[in-house]
Chains A and B, each alone.
Chain A
Amino acid sequence: MSLASTDTMKAGPSMLARLVARQELALLLCLILVIAFFSFTAENFFSVRNITNVLGQASLALTAGIGCAIVFISGEVDISIGSLLATIALPLIIIMNDTNSLVLGISGALLFGLIIGVVNGYLTAYAGINSLIVTLGTMFIMRGGVYLYTGQRAIPDDAALDSFIALSDGRLFNVVPYSAVIAIVLLAVFAYVMQHRPFGRQIYAVGGNPEVARLAGYDVRRVKFTCFIISALLATVAGIILAARVGSAQHTAGLNFEFQVVAATVLGGVSLAGGIGSLTGMALGVLILQFLSNGLRGLGLPTEWQLVITGMIIIAAVAFDEAKRRRAIGG
């Protein structure tokens, strides 16, 4: 290891980074094990085609997971992202159908996402309502609202713009799906922000100890408020990708999506208590679960077994992590 890299290692989030790095190493090992296992057992698993497919499939949870992890790190939760996926698809598809413009459609979706983020953030940070309750409420409201508006019908993407279709079918260099590229770029940007921008560190501080953060001159409420907006906007991006993948605005889009993302995020070592975890960990958590379900499908295992195994792995992984943490403190 070069001197420079040890330097940044130590000077940066330092011990935390090192600790998390170890956690990430364990997750990476886990991921490799999963991939290795299915490469031997499941047909066609270890192929460029399949692996890039999985990356495309994972792009949704990866993108939304960034926001989920950031909100977790700030010490709050957001379980409205699943319903949000369905909500923002409406302006997206409707505007595109009306105007034949991808830019306008995406702008409309982002505006909707922004409004939802502002509502969640305001109610949590400024009105002081527990974020689980707020987002549980907005989850119901949005889902019900989508059903009301659509009359429980999906709205087809009649515009079928090439640029929008490319989001689903297109691949960079004909290999990596664009959706995965978007997720990876966003991941890199936000990982950088969380580790190397003052704002990112403020989020960690606010989640780690809000009172201390306030004394250090941070506007705790504004930081949390902003986190909800980030989360909603990222979920909006995930919603756009999903709408492209299913070529329509689906009223049922994202049902139970929040559970998947929360599970992957916690699996990735992001603590519900706030202040602990990294986006890299979250990404590894998402990939582990995604490759797992892909592999289990590849083995031809029925849904019920997939559910049972995923459930067991989530409990086991978190229990293992907890045991490790306690041993670290105890030793």
Chain B
Amino acid sequence: MSVDFLHPGETVAVDKSVPALEMRGIGKRFPGVVALDNVDLTLEPGKIHALMGENGAGKSTLIKIMAGVYGKDAGTISLRGREADIKSPRDSLKEGIKVVFQEIALIAEFSVAENIFLEGYPTGKGGSIDWKKIRADAAALFKRIGFNVDPAARTGSLPVSQQQMVEIARALAHEARVVVMDEPTSSLTPNEVSLLFTVIRRLAALGIAVLYVSHKLDEVFEIADTVTVLRDGRHVSTRPIGQHTNDTLIQDMIGRRIENLFPRKRGAPGSKVALSVEGLSTAKKLKDVSFEAHAGEVLGFFGLMGAGRTELAKAIVGYDPITSGAISVDGCRLLPHETHTGVRLGIGLLTEDRKSEGLMGELPVYQNASLASLGAFARMGFVDKVSERKAVQDYVDRFRIRTPSLFQQVKNLSGGNQQKVLISRWLMRGLKVIVVDEPTRGIDVGAKSEIFALIDRLAGEGLAVVMMTSEMPELLGLADRIAVMCEGRLTAIMPRDEATQENILNAAIG
């Protein structure tokens, strides 16, 4: 019955008539909220099933129930026709459910090979761990799926995309009957994505049921057999992919049509140079990067994973040290190279890693929003809380930040609203240049268009927006000019109308 990716020679007997996993009437409440209400989901062996929905639709809750992270309040879960009681990740793993979460679930200090076998170490005589077997098996597994990485490497030293692949490989190392992948491509390069799709198809061919969770419509159309859409914790539709179009899927997901994801309201960019970067190099990554960004312009930076976009973002705002080069904002040099000088000159970073670099999760919304501009609300060092809260309330209204009050702990907000709080932080401060790094990471379709509209508005108000992104549509939809990076170097800068997917990718490959 079991499927072992390590030993593909063995024939696998799968009874295709019985669903691999069947969830019926699943309900889950959190205090005061119904996260899932009577949701059904059936995964057939050998089929690739896509699960779609906006953030907050209940996808991750459903997956977490499957993985045993959360308990369910109502409903049943059956595996191969037999009801199962999943109370912990351990139970779920025992049932052959392998979940690849969006956030990297690897021990950074362990070797890649050890991480592959985290869920069950092969042991030799007397119960000692058989390290030789671990390495050999990991190497064999990587070879089989065409994944080229040193099994002995320290996991934390690998780029995120490779870590993601390690995690996917881990799901294959043990007997799996159901493999769940939550946004697996969010940090993969195009090559890796196609590698991943090959692997997924092979899993299906082996009789494994695959649940593929994604926002990306094109991916879903490419790989899925069936699509289930959730909205507001309820089941909306389950249909074969053939019955869907882009529009019908989006409509199912958000309950309305989005006319245009990238509404452009701003005028043409000005000619004033707001940010100039000359010969920037860092010890880690960047080599001799030079460019200018103009007021009112969105300058998009594209690059594959590891091209150095985030490094560039952090270096130009003064967060990471540089070894050589000069950065000027409105003609003033960023000296000393520190964030406090940067912010004073009017350049700030909207980080890609909201949780560890942006939000103060325990603190209320208003304190998060006003962090960069507290000085403006200070009288003799005392915070004028009334005007502070008034100002924040203003942004909450303008940006339609959905929060019950200004005193809500920011960690309880949805990703999109958190992002809006962080954008407010910079707008309250008043910047000339804003560097946005992957602005829509972890944000659903509906909220995405709002973020895009905000970015458009920022540029319209005369800011220079430097946008780092790995999403081609975002790049083409928003940017006035497009810069492409490869391995720490700037390989091309082109106006939007000269850019095509093809020449951008060519420059990104270098």
Contacts and interface: CB of A to CB of B under 8 A. Distances in A.
Interface of A: 7-8, 10-16, 19, 196-198, 201, 204-205, 208-209, 211-219, 275-276, 330-331
Given A19-B154, A201-B121, A201-B129, A212 B107 contact: yes
B93 A15 contact: no
A268 B458 CA distance: 52
Given A15-B154, A204-B110, A212 B129 contact: no
A216 B135 contact: no
Given A12-B131, A196-B129, A197-B128, A216 B118 contact: yes
Contacts of B134: 11
B284 interface: yes
B152 interface: yes
Given A10-B152, A13-B114, A14-B113, A205 B107 contact: yes
Contacts of A11: 111, 113, 131-132, 134-136, 151-152
Nearest to B130: A11
A204 B109 CA distance: 9
A201 B90 CA distance: 17
A201 B114 contact: yes
Contacts of A197: 127-129
Contacts of B93: 216-217
A167 B236 CA distance: 73
Contacts of B85: none
A190 to B, nearest CB: 14
A204 B107 contact: yes
12 contacts: A7-B132, A14-B153, A14-B154, A198-B127, A201-B110, A209-B105, A209-B106, A211-B105, A217-B90, A275-B109, A276-B109, A330-B284
A16 B108 CA distance: 10
B505 to A, nearest CB: 31
A205 B114 CA distance: 10
Contacts of A213: 107
Contacts of A215: 67, 69, 89, 99, 101, 105
A262 to B, nearest CB: 21
Nearest to B93: A217
The 8 closest A-B pairs by CB, nearest first: A15-B154, A14-B111, A11-B135, A11-B131, A217-B90, A10-B152, A208-B107, A14-B152
Interface of B: 67, 69, 88-90, 93-94, 99, 101, 105-111, 113-114, 118-119, 121, 123, 127-129, 131-132, 134-136, 151-154, 157, 283-284
A198 B67 CA distance: 22
A177 to B, nearest CB: 30
A201 B128 CA distance: 11
Contacts of B123: 198
Contact of A15 (B106, B136, B153): B153
A326 to B, nearest CB: 11
A209 B108 contact: yes
A215 B63 CA distance: 12
B483 to A, nearest CB: 25
Nearest to A205: B107
A330 B118 contact: no
A201 B99 CA distance: 21
A19 B111 CA distance: 11
Contacts of A218: 90
A141 to B, nearest CB: 30
Contacts of A198: 121, 123, 127, 129
Contacts of B99: 215
A194 to B, nearest CB: 11
Nearest to B108: A208
A11 B140 CA distance: 13
A11 B93 CA distance: 24
A205 B89 CA distance: 15
Contacts of B128: 196-197
Given A215-B105, A216-B119, A217-B89, A15 B111 contact: yes
A64 B136 CA distance: 37
B331 to A, nearest CB: 30
A216 B119 CA distance: 5
Contacts of A205: 107, 110, 118
B431 to A, nearest CB: 28
A212 B283 CA distance: 31
Q: Interface centre among A8, A10, A14, A19, by most B CB within 10 Å?
A: A14
A174 to B, nearest CB: 34
Contacts of A212: 105-107, 118
Contacts of B107: 204-205, 208-209, 212-213, 275
Nearest to B104: A212
Given A7-B132, A10-B152, A197-B127, 6 more contacts: A10-B111, A14-B114, A201-B110, A209-B105, A215-B67, A216-B105
B177 to A, nearest CB: 16
A13 B108 CA distance: 12
A11 B99 CA distance: 25
B119 A217 contact: yes
Nearest to B155: A15
Contacts of B135: 7, 10-11
A184 B256 CA distance: 70
A13 B118 contact: no
A299 to B, nearest CB: 40
B181 to A, nearest CB: 14
B438 to A, nearest CB: 22
A217 B89 CA distance: 5
A208 B109 contact: yes
A12 B134 CA distance: 8
B111 A16 contact: yes
Residue from A10, A211, A330 having most chain B Cβ neighbours under 10 A: A10
A118 B413 CA distance: 39
A248 to B, nearest CB: 41
B167 to A, nearest CB: 10
A5 to B, nearest CB: 12
A205 B155 CA distance: 13
Nearest to B90: A217
Contacts of A216: 89, 93, 105, 118-119
A331 B283 CA distance: 6
Contacts of A209: 105-108
A273 B136 CA distance: 31
Contact of B110 (A7, A208, A211, A217): A208
A140 to B, nearest CB: 29
Nearest to A10: B152
Contacts of B154: 14-16, 19
Given A10-B152, A11-B135, A219 B90 contact: yes
